[in-house]
Amino acid sequence: MGRTTRHQSIPERAAGGRQRRQATPRAVHRDWVPSPGRPDPVALIEEQNLTREPDLVPVRHARMLASPLTFYRGAAKIMAADLKDTARAGLDVQLCGDAHLSNFGVFASPERTLVFDLNDFDETLPGPFEYDVLRMAASFTIAARHNMFSREDARGVSLAAIRSYREAMRSFAQMGTLDIWYARQSDQDLLAAIQLVAESSKGKAEKRAAKLAGEKVAKAVRKARSRDSLQALSKLAERVDGTYRIVSQPPIIIPVRELEAVFGTSAEEMANDMRDQLHSYRQNLQHDRRQLLERFEMLDVARKVVGVGSVGTRAFIVLLQGRDSADPLFLQVKEATRSVLEDHLPRSAYRHPGARVVQGQRRMQAASDIFLGWTKGVQENRYLYWRQLRDMKGSAVIEGMRPMGMGFYARACGWTLARAHARSGDPIAIAAYLGKGDVFDESVADFCDRYADQNERDYEAFSAAVRSGRVPAAAGS
C-alpha cells in the first residue's frame, strides 16, 4: 500500500494560519535591528569571490559600487545572513531567494504570449515565505531612495508591494488548486491595469503621471517583443567566411577563441567540451524538446558577464543555427552554485545545484522556457543550467521611475510573488496569518526603512574597502 497524505480541511488550514500569530506576531518585523554578532559584510562578499573567476571579480565589485541599489542587488548573501535571525511564522514556500525588484520582468511563454513573472532563481530554495517578501519590499525602499523620492513616497511604494502580496494571497486562498497553477499576468493585463489607474486618477498631474507610466510600460513591452535570437544575432555576432561567429566585446563578451590564457585550455578543447555539454544537456530534456534542439548545430561559444550578483560565476552564450543563417538560436549557460540560503536553511534536496535552480524555477513560474535544463560542468564541482538567452525578455528601468510608476510596478511584483508562493505553499494558511488589516504591511514597511539604512552602511563599508585596496574594482564596468 502506498503512503496516504492527510489533507486538512479549509477551516483547519485557516485556523492553523491564525494560530501562528501567537508565536510570531505580525508586527514582529517592526523593531528589526542587526544581530550583535553580525558578520562583516565585506568579508561575506570576499567569501563568495573565492569560487569566482578572478579576472571578473573586479567587474562585480565595480557594478556593486555604482550605488546602494546596485550594491543591494549583489548582496543576497549578506541579507541571507540577516534574515536567519528574523522571526518566521513557519509557513514555508518555494523561495525565489533573491526577490528584489530587478528580478521581475516579462518574457515569452511557450504559447508566445508575454507574461510578467520572476526571472532569476539562482538562490531558490524552500523556506519561510517572509524571506522573499522582506527582500522584495526592501528593494523598493532602496530603489525609491535612489530615485530621490520623499520619505512618504518611498514608504508608499514599499507598502504597495506588501499590500499587493497580502491581498493577492487572500484571493488565491479562495481559488481552486489548478486555478492557482494556471494563474498568470500577461502584458495585456499590465496595460489594462495601468489604464484603470489612469482613468481613476484625479487631477491633471496624476493623470499625466499615469499616462507617462502607461507609455513606459507599452514601450517596454514593444522592446521585449523585438528581443529574440534573430535580434541577438545582429547585436552579438558577425559573419566571417560565410558563417556567423560571436563578436568579441571584452570584458563583457569574450569568445572561446580568445579565452585560452584565462582557462589554460585551447579554444578547440573548450569548443569540444561545450559540444559534449550540449549533448549531455540535450539528453536531459523531455523527448520532444530534445528532438527540436537536435535540428540546430553549434557554431560558436563565448563567455558573457551577466547581472550584478552573478558576475564572476561562469556564464556562456552558445550560438546555434537551424535551417540556415537566418534561423539562429542563442542559449545561455550559467554556473549554478549553492544557494546563499543554504548557509542558514536546510540544504536542497537536489544534489545538483543546476537541478535545484531549474526545478525551483518550474515550481514558481507560471510558464518556463522550453529549453530549461541542466548539466554537470567539465571540472569537478562545477554545475550548469541552460536556457534561451533572449526570448522576448524585458525588464523595467528602475532608475528614473516616478512614484506612481514605481507604485504600479510594486503592485505587479507583489501579486506575482504571491502567485509564485501560492503554487508551492498553503495560500489559505498564509492568507489567514496575514489577515485583512495592515498590521503585517506596516511591520514590514518599518523593517524596510531600517534595512535600507543598514544597506547604506554596508555600501559605505564596501566603498571604503575599495578605496583602501582591500577589494579591487575595475573601472568602466
R_g of the chain, CA atoms, integer Å = 23
Query: What pLDDT score was predicted for residue 187?
Result: 87
pLDDT score recorded for residue 2: 55
How many Cα neighbours within 13 Å face the side chain of 219? 8
Which residue, among 149, 100, 107, has the nearest Cα to 123 in the 3D structure? 100
CB atoms within 10 A of CB 55: 15
Please give the backbone phi and psi of residue 387, each rounded to the nearest 5 degrees, phi first.
-165, 175
pLDDT of residue 193: 84
Distance CA 160, CA 446 (A): 13
Strand, coil or helix: 25:
coil
Please give the Cα distance from 428 to 267 (Å, whole number): 55
Give the 3-state secondary structure of residue 24.
Answer: coil
Per-residue pLDDT 10s for the chain (477 aa) are: 456 677 899 999 999 999 999 999 999 999 999 999 999 999 999 999 998 988 899 999 999 999 999 999 999 999 999 999 999 999 999 999 999 999 999 998 888 888 999 999 999 999 999 999 999 999 999 999 999 999 999 999 999 999 999 999 999 999 999 999 999 999 888 888 878 877 777 777 777 877 887 888 888 888 888 888 889 899 999 999 999 999 999 888 999 888 876 666 787 888 888 899 999 999 989 999 999 999 999 999 999 988 787 887 889 999 999 999 999 999 999 999 999 999 999 999 999 999 999 999 999 999 999 999 999 887 778 899 999 997 888 888 899 899 999 999 999 999 999 999 999 999 999 999 999 999 999 999 999 999 999 999 999 999 999 999 999 998 655
Q: Where are the beta strands (DSSP E) in 150-232?
A: 185-186
Q: What's the rounded Cα separation, in Å, for the pair 369 and 115?
A: 12
Q: Is 106 helix (H, G, I), strand (E, B) or coil?
A: strand
Question: Nearest-CA neighbor of 436 among 18, 148, 3, 67?
Answer: 18
* CA-based nearest residue to 55, from 224, 212, 263, 205: 263
Instruction: Say how many CA atoms lie within 13 Å of 347 toward its Cβ.
Output: 6
How many beta carbons lie within 10 A of that of residue 288, not counting itself? 9
pLDDT tens-digit readout, 138-187 = 999 999 999 999 999 999 999 999 999 999 999 999 999 999 999 999 98
Structure-block grid coordinates of residue 417: 510573488
Question: How many other CB atoms are found less than 10 A from the CB of residue 263?
Answer: 16
Q: Where are the beta strands (DSSP E) in 192-341?
A: 237-240, 243-246, 253-255, 297-304, 315-321, 328-336
Cα–Cα distance measured from residue 385 to residue 377, given in angstroms and rounded to the nearest whole number: 9
Confirm if 220 and 187 have CB atoms less than 8 A apart. Answer: no
pLDDT digits (tens, 9 = 90+) for 14-33: 999 999 999 999 999 999 99
Q: Phi and psi at residue 147, in whole multiples of 5°?
A: -90, 10
* pLDDT of res. 147: 97
| SS3 call for 301 | strand
Q: Are 330 and 235 in contact (CB under 8 A)?
A: no
Bond preceding residue 11 cis, omega within 30 of 0: no
Residues 354, 384: contact at Cβ < 8 Å?
A: yes
What is the distance between the alpha carbons of residues 249 and 303, in angstroms, rounded to a whole number? Answer: 10
CB within 8 Å of 95: residues ≥ 6 apart? 123, 124, 125, 126, 127, 128, 129, 131, 132, 341, 360
Do residues 402 and 212 touch, judged by C-beta distance below 8 A?
A: yes
**CA dihedral defined by 140, 145, 148, 154, rounded to 10 degrees?**
50
Q: Reduced to 3 states, what is the DSSP secondary structure of residue 92?
A: strand
Cα–Cα distance measured from residue 357 to residue 353, given in angstroms and rounded to the nearest whole number: 6
Residue 318: helix, strand or coil by DSSP? strand
- In this prediction, residue 270 carries a pLDDT of 83
The phi and psi torsions of 266 (rounded to 5 degrees) equal -70, 155
Report how far residue 302's alpha carbon sits from residue 331's, in angstroms, rounded to the nearest whole number: 11
Question: Helix, strand or coil for residue 8?
Answer: coil
